[in-house]
Structure 1
Amino acid sequence: MKFKKILSMGLALALAVSVTACGSGNSKSETSNTETPAAEVADTGNASDPNVLYSNGGPTEFFETPWLNPGTYMYNKVLYSRLIFADENLTPISGEGDLAQSYEMSEDGKTLTFVLRDGITWHDGEPITAEEIQWNIEYALKTTVLNSVFRSTFEAIEGAKAYLDGSAEHISGIAVDGNKITLTFATVAPDALLTFTQFAPLPQKYLKDTDPITLQQASFFQSPVGSGPFMIDEVQMNNYTILKPFENYYGGKAEFSIHLNPSAGDSDPNLVTNAKAGKLDYAYTKNIADVRALEGAQGINIETVNVRYTRLFYMNKFNKKDGSASPLADQRVRQAIAYALDMDSILQGVFDGAALPANSLTPDGADKVDGLNDYKYDPEKAKQLLKEANWNPNTELDVVYYYTDQATQDLMAIIQQYLAEVGIKMNARLVEGDLATILWKAPEDPVNGPSAVDWDMCYAANAALSLHEYYDRYATGYSINSHTPSDPTLDALIAATNSSVDAEAQKQAFFKLQKYENETLFALPLYYQPIFLIVSDKIESGLDAIGNPQFNYKWNIQNWKLK
């Protein structure tokens, strides 16, 4: 695979973002690019050794469970196998699976059957059984570290509610027959196949006596046992971790080991230092300052990967607590705000073009419908729409944000200036503390309100595994819908995206939803943030598919060749 070199990218302001912070309103701050001095970086081998692949994302205190952020860390991608594979676009691959030799979904989306491969084992040599897969699903539902897409899928299985409330010992919709597992769903789970491309079963014998609530604190996650192409060799927590090939991996034995430098997810303060020292062969970053620092570095290749990561303004359209109407209830006001912002210039000035203007929550690509309005900068159009909406120029929009980096503060100041030019006042303020309540508390009456939060617009982000993660939250009564009153048309469009497991049917339903979103702007998408994949020349061959490195897809790492 030949990688595109990133061309010269002078940067006004560096931007780093945290994936796990965005969808939920977690207040993780933007990561600085301050690096550990090179002398402090662990040196456990020869960087030119063709038997060692250097990467980052190694554990600092524990290995994170693979059920929360399934592919954020390199170790989660290689220590564990899943039941089926996704391709680089996160589309489930039909036919042969991963741990599953085969699988089949019924046409109505209500029955999913897996047949496990013969002879598959955990790293300790114990066989992987269908009963363990059942145990994993049931156990995972009782944990607090379960990805929302996984949870939605598992809760849709027949009998899940009775199991969770304690009235049933097992989930009745899971049946085991030899090496076959059959799931029967009470309702269509539109992301069922996607879930099983990401959900990694764990060996029951090590965790069966662990309270699900304290799963992450289990001693198991000091040196976990999985079923993937690599297994634990040596762990020096917060120093380095060595993963060695798993000899009995069904897909073949790798010819190299993996050396992991410690770092927190995609926030690696030593990324540049290690890459230049030949101690980083595969990694990713969202920090454009990292890319700039590696510009022109010999043997370093950088690929821009478009992912489902969208920055936006959530628009609070519920009546205010005093009963007065929201200033954003009229869609013409929301459209005026879109026309008032010159996003091309803003992104070039603040992020040096390292982000793309958004016209939908859905990023560019095959999942987005053609022909959407880009709301190109048109201040006169904005003024006309405000006039038609009888906008009161004395109204001041209360805009909140929870990122603490300088780039966000500068972005808010620039947006304030653009809006002022069309007659809209705004005040931007940082919010901290219980963000779940401050930002996402839903009103008791999801139809009429009033609002349970005190803001007009919230600057935030959505990092989505599934397109449903972008849109479901706008449905009437959704648990974190703090911003969008009941809209029968919107509800019907969202419901249509959840009514089928057929990929093409879902795509067409999302196309209709995107058109309505683009017209009404129930949220205002601002820009898409890509990921930069860093690959050294040491990887000679085998890296043929480039997908979102935060998730799992069929990349066949055990077959890579190093030089």
Structure 2
Amino acid sequence: MVGKKSASKVLFAMLLVLLLALAACNKTDDATPDDSGKEKDKPKDAQTEESGEKLYSIDDFTNIKTKEGEAIEGGSFTYGLVSDTAFEGTLNYNFYSGNPDAMVLQWFDEGFLTWDENYVYTNDGAATYESSEDGRTFTFTIKDNVNWHDGQPVTAEDWLFSHEVLAHPDYDGPRAGDVKNIVGMDEYMAGTAETISGIEVVSEKVLKITYKEATPSLITGGIWTYPLAKHIFGDMAVKDISSSKEVRQNPIGFGPFKVDTIVPGESVTYTKNEDYWRGAPGLDTVTLKVINPNVVVQALKKGEVDTVSDFPVAQYPDNADMSNVEFLGMIDRAYSYVGFKLGTWDAEAGVVKYDPTKKMADAKLRKAMWHAVDNDTVGKKFYHGLRWAATTLIPPSHPEFHDDTNPGAAYDPELAKQMLEEAGYKDVDGDGVREDKEGNPLVISYASMSGDDIAEPLAQYYIQAWGAVGLKVELLDGRLQEFNSFYDRVGNKGNDDPAVDIYAGAWGVGIDVDPSGLYGNDALYNFSRWENEENTRLLAEGISEKAFDVEKRKEIYKEWQQLMTEEVPVFPTMYRSAVVPVNNRVLNYAIGDGTGLYLSDIQVTQDKPVVGK
């Protein structure tokens, strides 16, 4: 990751829930990723199942916009941020937490390093790097023409400063764990050292960092690449930075566009950064505005936006032939999931605190709830094949490490009932609802996000599926939660709402396969608050020196995926595709990694977007 629905939409939702409740289980084929930047044929006609459902495959999309027409000089571009809620407005990479803020950030700021289609860092970004023979020491050189939007050079001191802020005891963002592998970081965080011994400012533009361990993750996402402007934030108390006007109202970066004006939570206008290190962008201005999922199609057809951040794939079949856009597509580095609250966050220690007395502590209960839901049918009925049943917590966007031999937990409500019986969750009073192991009423509180038209029927389907095996599950507060409220209550700020027993969320996974940022015992984003010695061991081995052997690393993550299938602190529901409509006037636009196209390359062929027929 709405509004009031019309009577027809409510009826549609009820019909979908009924359809899903009656649907038989079918296995979808695993899709294969293509983020290589190579153009492919346009989407083929959908296949039609015996049920009459049209199914599409993400394999039939290209991730690069077709070039048609000649670019005009300059021009404007409008980007729709699809959300049913305002973006939070923490507009600095060192502090933001939600994806909506990342969508705002990408236009005016960036990291030093870019990566290729295999998710390996290149030297094509704002900085280059060299590593020592032992793979522990990296020397970074920031390019001479990389400057902040106020004209000040981006320096090695700025990069060091961002590390110091992330490691500060008053830091209130979610990314302190991203810098822990640096020599001297433990002492600095503990307050026993005044400097981080493993970071050396060699010169104004050269920074040297020595890591505790050489890991394969270092060159695929394990380096913190976002500086923090020391000349702006250096004299500010760390606890005040995230709420400062320099983050909220007048943010600064070194990206292709500069922030001009912000209407908090609603829109941002940007102007061209003539001094951008890659060269002046092709556009004069960009406008970002929040678009409700329910009006995305209308906004696209009317030419109110040139493209959107997240087109609701459920709406694709009815709009596949939209005349004024080209649909791009790719396998997303993301998956949807259901998580179980199994502990709390210990803010002082910076670790999860597992609580075996929690309501959802029995792994058999959790596994039974996975078996009770038919995610294959969800993918077909709700998403027409553009999302499909997930099996493990490493998605197929990382094909080397995704274990396609692991079936996860197939839809089997009878097995789910059997597991619940064996675990002691029985219907004591014969009312069709199971009690807990002590014979007391069992009511499971379920947090699920609001969104587009199918958010409500999707949540109700899962509730109904669990009800079919005798579990009483109710929406938290009796309603869906908007994005910011949902993640605050689930634990984004470290404050785990005890009213939440289970929750449905989505992860955008990193370019590196390492899942410790989501499931490590020191990861704030480990919202289930689950820890396990075997989990800790495998996560550590996955980024150890022996993991440089790719085959060994595959074995480690195969074992980890199986462990998570057995323990089920969360279970994946859907692998996701990104389907992105782009107005016909747009040139040099791509989605995914390694395409060689950047936001500064975007151009248009006419002053205003093409309007649909």
CA distance in 1, matches of 2:570, 2:267: 43
CA distance in 1, matches of 2:374, 2:579: 25
Matched to 1:217, the amino acid is: S
Q: 1: distance between equivalents of 2:355 and 2:230? A: 54
Deviations 1:311-340 (A, max 9, x none): 33334679xx99989776354x55444333
Percent of pairs identical after alignment?
A: 20
Residues 416-431 of structure 1 aligned to structure 2 (within 5 Å):
416-421=463-468, 423-430=469-476
Alpha carbons 2:342, 2:355 under 8 Å: kept: no
- Tell me if the contact between 1:153 and 1:189 (Cα under 8 Å) persists in the aligned partners: no
Aligned match for 2:601, one of 511, 535, 559: 559
Number of the residue aligned with 2:178: 153
Shift of 1:85: 0.6
Q: Residue in 1 aligned with 2:404?
A: 370
Report the CA distance between 1:115 and its aligned residue: 1.9
1:31 aligned residue = none
Residue of 330, 338, 357 corresponding to 2:389: 357
SS at match of 2:160: helix
2:121 to 90, 93, 97: 93
- Counterpart for residue 53 of structure 1: 77
Structure 1 residues not aligned, in runs of 5+: 10-46, 442-450
Q: CA deviation at 1:370?
A: 2.3
Three-state SS of the structure 2 residue aligned to 1:495 is helix
Map of 2:275 onto structure 1:
248
Aligned to 2:328: 303
Partner Cα separation in structure 2 for residue 243 and residue 228 of structure 1: 11
TM-score by length of 1: 0.72
> Is 1:66 aligned with 2:93?
yes
Structure 1 residues 258 and 356, CA, compared in 2 at 3 Å: closer, same or farther? farther
> How many matched pairs?
501
Q: State whether structure 2 residue 253 is matched by structure 1 residue 226.
A: yes
After alignment, is 201-210 or 309-318 more displaced? 309-318
User: Would the aligned equivalents of 1:274 and 1:280 in 2 still touch at CA under 8 Å?
Assistant: yes
Asked whether the equivalents of residues 284 and 532 of structure 1 are also in contact (C-alpha less than 8 Å), the reply is no
For residues 110 and 376 of structure 2, what CA distance do their matches in structure 1 show? 42
1: CA distance, partners of 2:356 / 2:113: 51
Aligned 8 A contact 2:530 2:569 in 1: no
Aligned to 1:260: 287
Question: C-alpha separation between the residues in 1 aligned to 2:456 and 2:162?
Answer: 44
- How many Å separate the matches in 2 of 1:437 and 1:237? 22
CA contact (8 A) 1:398 1:455 kept: no
Contact 1:157 1:173 (8 Å CA) reproduced? yes
Query: In 1, distance between residues paired with 2:502 and 2:81?
Result: 34
Distance 1:280 1:512, change over 3 A: same
**For each residue in 1:64-119, what CA deviation from the matched residue of structure 2 results, as whole angstroms up to 9, or x when unmatched?**
12322597545522322422112356x1333x14221x213446553222122234
| Mapped pair 1:83 → 2:108 | no
The separation in 2 between residues aligned to 1:54 and 1:466, in whole angstroms, is 27
TM-score normalised by length of structure 2? 0.67
Distance in 2, matches of 1:168 and 1:6, equals 61
Q: 1:477 Cα deviation (Å)?
A: 7.7
2:371 corresponds to 1:345: no
1:207 aligns with 2:210: no
Contact in 1 for aligned 2:376/2:389 (Cα 8 Å): yes
Deviations 1:160-191 (A, max 9, x none): 23334444332221101123211122356775
**TM-aligned CA distance change 1:322 to 1:277, over 3 Å:** closer
AA aligned to 1:82 is G
Q: Which residue of 1 aligns with 2:540?
A: 495
Distance 1:379 1:61 in 2: 40
In structure 2, what is the equivalent of residue 536 of structure 1? 583
Cα deviation for residue 155 of structure 1 reads 2.8
Shift of 1:122: 2.7
Which deviates more from structure 2 when the two are superposed, residues 425-434 or residues 153-162? 425-434
Pair 1:517 & 2:544 matched? no
Correspondence 1:104 to 2:133 = no
What RMSD, in angstroms, separates the aligned Cα atoms of the two structures?
4.5
1:485/1:164 CA distance change after superposition, 3 Å: closer
Q: Is the 8 A contact 2:199 2:208 kept in 1?
A: yes
